[in-house]
Chains A and B, each alone.
Chain A
């Protein structure tokens, strides 16, 4: 039987499809391919709804991967927030591959959505929504640990959804345990080899996370958020940020400080500084002198200040005219 190149690819894809026999799921279509594995749209036949299924291709050498994913999924399942994509189920196929299902999200990945974002304020407000979702999780003791544009979806109404909570970190740890060097198949970044070297662009991972030293806390996610902010700002040619670019740059620098003690200590602190920037107020990341603060206050209140000034000038002119 002679196989054409197309047939070869079709067979390869067909073989890659998850074997759902014995599970409650029915395969509908493949949605995409990431570094960790394929993502599929499947039907949950018990609940008659479509969900997204991520099939993990990391080898489960010690048989522990499914259990660890399950533990993490339980933690994440308790996060009920409009910006957090819930995980529904974790399991293992008869062929040994591990999967987890989550809410099927309509929308675009942040890196694909970027061209639709016009102004800087829009981008900053988007990041604030991400901060809200991440802050919510932090308040419940859950770190994301893998924040990057590829893990953020933007829905059709501009709503933000943060995905792959903690799970991708577990999978990467599993992959790092094995000797296989991952060959990127979907353009996914931040791949880790068994030797701990970060492939691709490691810019979204906090230094303390990369080095594996010490306990991680919310500041690791703050670093990632700062890196995402840098990404959002780098993708724009909006020249109107120029006059206040120092303040914005200071926010990015503070969020992505190498030393966690120099960073914002929470997503709320980062979000507050962004709000201050958007409102024309001074930001914590960029301390200003009294004169600069006064100027900023005057600019913010320029309308009624001008009116008061006009009144005073007029009155003064009348007085002078009268007394001449």
Chain B
């Protein structure tokens, strides 16, 4: 599995899981499906970006840092959108989101294959 695909899959899975934890927040429980779908897509996008970065840059610390940054930014975009009650959950979304980004960053640096350059 190459790094981009790995990032994609891992990002989506962790994103979905992250979205599911919203069930523990009663106020948003009714929008759970939307949250999960949104979180999954967020994770997918983050995973692709982080996986692509891992393909280009071979550095575990930088990979983790990049994952942190991407997770943080995408989580901010989501958190900036108010829920129907007009509330924002910056803390609850951005912090875990950044950690998920770090996990995907680590995994894509450690695992996944890079394609060999084509020989002429």
In their complex, do chains A and B touch, with some C-beta pair under 8 Å? Answer: yes
- A123–B17 Cα distance when bound, in Å, is 46
Q: Please, how many residues of chain A have a CB less than 8 angstroms from a CB on the other chain?
A: 12
What residues of B have a CB within 8 angstroms of the CB of A8 in the complex?
Answer: none
Q: Is A310 an interface residue (CB 8 A)?
A: yes
A157 within 8 A of B: no
Q: Which residues of A contact B95 (CB under 8 A)?
A: 314
Contact of A311 among B24, B26, B100, B110 (CB under 8 A): B100
- A322 interface residue, CB < 8 Å from B? yes
The interface residues of chain A lying within 8 Å CB-to-CB of B107 are 304
Question: What is the chain A residue whose CB lies nearest that of B102?
Answer: A307
Tell yes or no: A291 within 8 A of B by CB.
no
A315 CA to B14 CA, complexed, in Å: 13
Number of chain B interface residues as a range:
10 to 19
User: Counting CB contacts under 8 A, is B9 at the interface?
Assistant: no
Is A299 in the interface zone, CB < 8 Å from B? Answer: no
Name B25's closest neighbour in chain A (CB-CB): A322
Partner of B99, one of A307, A318, A322, A323: A307
Q: CB-defined interface of A279-317 with B at 8 Å, one 1/0 digit per residue? A: 000000000000000000000000110011011001100
Identify the closest chain A residue to B107 (Cβ): A304
The interface residues of chain A, by DSSP majority, are classed as: helix
Given contacts A314-B95, A314-B96, A315-B96, contact A308 B103 (CB under 8 A): yes
Nearest A residue to B14 via CB reads: A311
Q: Which listed residue, A303, A311, A314, A323, touches B106 by the CB 8 Å rule? A: A303
Asked whether, in the complex, the Cβ of A323 is within 8 Å of the Cβ of B103, the reply is: no
The answer for the CA separation of A10 and B92 in the assembled complex, in Å, is 88
Contact in complex: B103, A307 (CB < 8 Å): yes
CB distance from B105 to the nearest CB of A (A): 9
A319 an interface residue at 8 Å Cβ cutoff?
yes
Contact in complex: A314, B24 (CB < 8 Å) = no
- A304, A307, A308, A319: the one within 8 Å of B24 (CB): A319
Q: 18 A-B residue contacts at CB 8 Å? A: A304-B106, A304-B107, A307-B102, A307-B103, A308-B103, A311-B103, A314-B95, A314-B96, A314-B99, A315-B21, A315-B24, A318-B24, A318-B25, A318-B92, A319-B24, A319-B25, A322-B25, A323-B24
Residues of A within 8 A of B (CB): 303-304, 307-308, 310-311, 314-315, 318-319, 322-323
Give 12 new A-B contacts, CB below 8 A, not counting A304-B106, A311-B99. A303-B106, A308-B103, A311-B103, A314-B95, A314-B96, A314-B99, A318-B25, A318-B96, A319-B24, A319-B25, A322-B26, A323-B24
